[in-house]
Copies of this chain bind each other. A is one copy, B any other.
Amino acid sequence: MKKKLAVTVLGAGSWGTTFAALACRNANVVLWARDGAVAHDIAHAHRNSRYLPGVPLPARLHAETSLAEAVARADVLVLAVPSHGVRGVLEEASAHLRPWVPVISLAKGLEQHTGLRMSELAQELLPGHPVGALSGPNLAHEIMAGKAAASVLAMQDPAILARLQPVLSSGLFRVYTNEDVIGCELGGVLKNVIAIACGMGDGMGAGDNTRAAMITRGLAEITRLGVALGGQPATFAGLAGLGDLVTTCSSPLSRNRHVGEELGRGRALAEILGEMRMVAEGVRSTPVALALAERHGLAVPMIREVARVLEGGSAKRAFRTLLRISAGAEADPG
């Protein structure tokens, strides 16, 4: 039997904690929390009251507040901090990470000013390390409640994929593989923008037909953009694209959909964000996605309207604008 891998998860938010708890089944897992109180809670009370209240965690899940210690032990490094924190964490981690260790991002955002995907950022800051992403329809609370879920692990190297897939899969958590890192990462990022749009529709009283049409046309739009940026179309039809999009656009647990819903009711963005403890990545990703689309000369009407509403425009007006675009062939924008 092979030696158990040491998996270090950076970031003890709800998804980082959930992922770490799942990985405990087949690996020795260290969860790094910046905040001492959170780390203490995990290590001693076997729970994360701040970000995953009411959920018991495995006793064998270790917590650590020293980034250097946590990173130095890693056979696999997993990034679960919000994307605006990834650069800082990687800069600090780089001195401690052993050679060859693969780096897997769980973050679903782009860097603000550079537009970089998180695995690109990892490649830049940790050159020589194989990088990848894990993405899919994975609401943390449902997984911790023991409900079945599936996700995609994306890396370019099939040998590493083959070694990691059985470690990260466990029982009701099914991990599929895909070699298209770009597509998987962009699926996770761009679906948040469409989720804000769907939430806006819900906030204005739209129905299931409307939501399904927005999901479908939204997926067509983010697929066009994702393919222009180097992703594969099939990836967007998979778990990290369609699958994650469906969950995020439908579930009352989704933060990005929630932001959209409140915007649709006419509330101001600052007020909505002020009430939320956790990050809605889509709010930051939308202008970056729009800028990338413009750089490639692509029409992305839904992303553009979401960007307008996030800048203070009216959701009702955005909706009307989208309905005014005449419907053409399915393959065209709009």
Interface residues of chain A, those whose CB is within 8 Å of chain B, are: 136-139, 142-143, 145, 147-150, 152, 165, 169, 172, 174-178, 205-213, 215-217, 219-220, 223, 233-239, 242-244, 246-247, 250-251, 253, 323, 327-331
Q: Which residue of B lies closest to A217 (CB)?
A: B150
The complex places the Cα of A246 from the Cα of B149 at a distance, in Å, of: 17
Tell me if B247 and A212 are in contact (CB < 8 A): yes
Q: CA of A323 to CA of B210 in the docked complex: distance in angstroms?
A: 32
Number of chain copies forming the complex: 2
What is the chain B residue whose CB lies nearest that of A210?
Answer: B148
* Closest B residue to A150 using CB positions: B213
> Which one, B172, B174, B209, contacts A143 given CB within 8 A?
B209
- CB <8 Å contact, B330 and A209: no
Kindly list chain B residues whose C-beta atoms are within 8 Å of the C-beta of A207. Answer: 139, 142, 145, 147, 149
10 further interface pairs, Cβ-Cβ under 8 Å (given A149-B207, A211-B246, A250-B250): A137-B208, A149-B210, A169-B327, A211-B247, A212-B243, A213-B239, A213-B243, A236-B237, A237-B242, A238-B330
Contact B177 A328 (CB under 8 A): yes
Q: Are B242 and A215 in contact, with the CB atoms below 8 A?
A: yes
Contact of A176 (CB < 8 Å), options: B147, B150, B253, B329: B329
Question: A247 contacts which chain B residues (CB < 8 A)?
Answer: 208-209, 211-212
CA distance A287 to B233 in the complex (A): 31
In order of increasing CB-CB distance, the 3 nearest A-B pairs are A137-B212, A216-B243, A149-B209
Q: How far is the CA of A208 from the CA of B236 in the complex (A)?
A: 19
- Cα–Cα, bound, A148→B200 (Å): 14
The answer to whether A148 touches B206, judged by C-beta atoms less than 8 angstroms apart, is yes
* Chain B, residue nearest A325 (CB): B174
Q: Could you jot down 8 A-B contacts, CB within 8 Å?
A: A142-B210, A177-B328, A177-B329, A211-B246, A212-B246, A212-B250, A223-B237, A237-B242
Within the complex, the shortest CB–CB distance from A188 to chain B, in Å, comes to 13
A152: chain B residues at CB < 8 Å are 330
Contact (A234, B330) CB under 8 Å given A143-B209, A207-B142, A242-B242 = yes
Query: Which B residue's beta carbon lies closest to that of A253?
Result: B208
Partner of A148, one of B215, B234, B238, B323: B323
- How distant is the Cα of A211 from the Cα of B175 in the complex, in angstroms? 16
Q: Is the CB of A327 within 8 A of B150?
A: yes
A124 to B169, alpha carbons, bound, how many Å? 50
Which of chain B's residues have a CB closer than 8 A to the CB of A208? 137, 139, 142, 247, 250-251, 253
> CA A241 – CA B150 in complex, angstroms?
21
Contact present for A235 and B330 (CB under 8 Å) = yes
Please judge, given known A-B contacts A215-B246, A223-B237, whether A209 and B137 are in contact too, CB under 8 Å: yes
B237 touches A220 (CB 8 A): yes
Q: Determine the chain B residues whose CB is within 8 A of the CB of A145 once the complex forms.
A: 207
Taking the closest CB of chain B, its distance from the CB of A300, in whole angstroms, is 17
